[in-house]
Amino acid sequence: MMLDKIEELRSKVLNIVDNIKDEKTLEEYRLIYLSRKGLISELFENLKAVDKSIKAQVGKALNELKITAQNIYDTKKSIIEDSAKTQETISDYTLPGRVFNIGSKHLITQALEDITKIFERIGFKVYEGFEIEDEYHNFDALNTPDYHPSRDMQDTFYLNSEGKDKRYLLRTQTSPGQIRVMENQKPPVRVIVPGKCYRNEAISSRSLSMFHQVEGLYVDKKVTFRELKGTLDYFAKEFFGKDIRTRMRPSFFPFTEPSAEMDVECFLCNNKGCRICKYTGWLEILGCGMVDPNVFDFVGYDPEVYTGYAFGMGIERTLLIRHRIPDIRMFYENDIRFLNQFK
């Protein structure tokens, strides 16, 4: 008789599952079957009067009934709560989906990577160097004497006082990296040195006190100026476009002799002359030259055996030309409208 009641109640519990659709029907279910005065509790009270010969069997069936009813309650409660949370989160299904802005590399980072890949394709390795340098590697070993104006406090950020034997500074160029490579490697050397540089300059639309450079060096036996010109012409065509024309003009740098500056034809005015190219039809992109023999003396290379060339370019100014950007300060203002143009 007791087992029949348990089986009958189990059937009711299973049949009522589909009717539990909200918090109200769930609570009604709990009160009827699982509460202290519910039907299952009532059967447990009646268990006391069951004959001992079948009491264990009835007790087992009653426990299984309670577990089944409780599982149904817990499952339905979880479904109803999740549904309520979803409805709170999405109140209007006609609204457009959320748009998450996907980040991108900064224009300067993109340019550094592009330039690095161009030179890696023709055998150059990458050396990072140090942003804090000593005077020897930043000036002396680069054939820049102590009376040179670039060594003044007005032009360079020094990090300790004049009185100390060894002064440190924020590097004014990435060229010290070339010296360190040559000090630790015998020729041939073929390396580029990208990174940040610092100079004590007034901030304007054309200059900053912190900027990026990529400098290159190639040293071996019988390296010629023709190789320098061919390398830089290859770079210009890869970076600016296959049809770009280049030219070199004589110049002066303390660590190269002879020295030159390289121009590309102004693609803003098609070489006709405009305000950006100062009506010359050409745009300067880098400085270069054959490594001065005095520099080889500092690093222990025999200038009678080895020759080499070096070059250096400012990334920001190169990008000003490449993308027709009017103000160098725009690179560091973090204006999303500006940065989004170069994703």
Is pLDDT at 303 greater than 60 in this prediction?
yes
For the chain, the maximum distance between any two Cα atoms, rounded to a whole number of angstroms, is 116
Percent of the chain beyond pLDDT 90? 41
Q: Whole-angstrom Cα distance, residue 189 to residue 187?
A: 5
Kindly write down the DSSP assignment for every residue of 189-224, as one continuous string. Answer: EEEEEEEEEE------SS--SEEEEEEEEEEETT--
pLDDT class of 7 with cuts at 50, 70, 90? confident
Tens digits of residue pLDDT in 147-202: 777 677 668 898 875 556 688 999 999 999 999 999 999 999 999 999 999 998 88
C-alpha angle 280-202-134 in degrees, rounded to nearest 5: 105
Pick the range with the lowest mean pLDDT from 73-87, 110-124, 179-193, 254-268: 73-87
Could you give the C-alpha distances from 135 to 4, 42, 179, 256, 340, in angstroms and in order?
99, 94, 12, 19, 40
- Strand ranges (E), the chain: 125-126, 132-134, 168-170, 189-198, 210-220, 246-253, 256-265, 282-291, 307-314
Q: Whole-angstrom Cα distance, residue 169 to residue 165?
A: 13
Q: Whole-angstrom Cα distance, residue 52 to residue 64?
A: 19
Q: At what angle do helices 315-323 and 225-240 cross, to 10 degrees?
A: 50
pTM more than 0.75: no
Q: Whole-angstrom Cα distance, residue 176 to residue 310?
A: 12
> 181, 175 in Cβ contact below 8 A?
no
Tens digits of residue pLDDT in 38-54: 888 887 787 777 777 88
β-pairing, 210-220 vs 307-314, is antiparallel
C-alpha angle 56-57-62 in degrees, rounded to nearest 5: 95
**Residue 14 corresponds to which tokens in the numbers above?**
């299973």
Q: Whole-angstrom Cα distance, residue 155 to residue 209?
A: 10
Could you give the C-alpha distances from 312 to 63, 71, 178, in angstroms and in order?
84, 74, 11
Backbone angles phi, psi at 219, to 5 degrees: -130, 130
**In the predicted model, what is the mean pLDDT of residues 320-329?**
84
What is the structure's pLDDT at 164? 60
Neighbours of 111 (CB within 10 A): 22
Q: Prior bond to 258 cis, omega within 30?
A: yes
What is the structure's pLDDT at 231? 96
Is pLDDT at 72 greater than 60 in this prediction?
yes
C-alpha angle 36-39-40 in degrees, rounded to nearest 5: 75
Residue with tokens 């405009």: 274
Is pLDDT at 309 greater than 80 in this prediction?
yes
- The H-assigned helical ranges of 121-245 are 135-138, 175-184, 225-240
Could you give the C-alpha distances from 341 to 98, 268, 328, 332, in angstroms and in order?
22, 19, 16, 15
> 5, 40 in Cβ contact below 8 A?
no
> 134, 166 in Cβ contact below 8 A?
yes
